[in-house]
Structures are given as structure tokens and as C-alpha cells.
Amino acid sequence: MRIICPNCGERDRREFYYVGDAVALERPAEDADLAAWDDYIHNRENPAGVTQDLWYHEMGCSAWLVVKRNTVTHEVLSAELAADVKGAGA
């Protein structure tokens, strides 16, 4: 499996560390109800198909990436900087 890092280009999977579902980027508002927080912290989809995860380019540029991939075909569909997705810019 290879991931195309927006900074580094195509790199081997061993350079990356998996850090879970990209749902982590969608933090509920502070006053959101318990169900929203329960979903955010505990509940994850387990799709047979396209899924979005966060990956950390640990042995590379140290950027966090949002990677879209297919769990059935193992195809990596896209990778973006989490900073860009989140609009944080840092």
C-alpha cells in the first residue's frame, strides 16, 4: 500500500502511522448533546468500501493527512493535508 503525501509524493505505507477515523476532525460543539459526544468519542463506522482515516507521516514530513481509501480493494483514493481540510493552516 502506498500513500501519495501532498508534501513528499508517493511513499511506502511503512512511513505512515494510522491514527483512526477522520471523524476526529469533526469535534461537536461544546453544548452538543450527549449522543453527539458519544458518537464522536466511541462510535465508528466499519464500512466495506470507501472510508476516511487520519494518517500521520511519522517517518516523513510529520504532516497529518486525511486519506480516503477503499477497504475492499485496498485502493488509496486521495490524501490531503489535515491542516488544509480543517482550514487551520498550521
Partner 1 sequence: MVDIIAKTPCEGLLPLTIGTTTVTEVPPSMMTSVAPYKGCEKALSTVLKSTHGIAAPAPGRATGKEGARAIWFGQRMILLMGPVPDAALAQHAALTDQSDAWAVVRLDGAGAAEVLARLTPIDLRDGAFKRGHTARTELQHMMASITRLGSNSYQIMVFRSMAETLVHDLKTAMQSVAARNG
Chain residues binding partner 1 by CB under 8 A are 7-9, 11-12, 14-15, 57-63, 81, 83, 89-90
Q: How far is the CB of 54 from partner 1 (least distance, A)?
A: 14
Partner residues linked to 32 by β-bridges: none
* Helix (H/G/I), strand (E/B), else coil: 76: strand
| Cα three-residue angle 69-53-87, rounded to 5 degrees | 115
Q: How far is the CB of 52 from partner 1 (least distance, A)?
A: 20
Nearer to partner 1, 71 or 78 (CB): 78
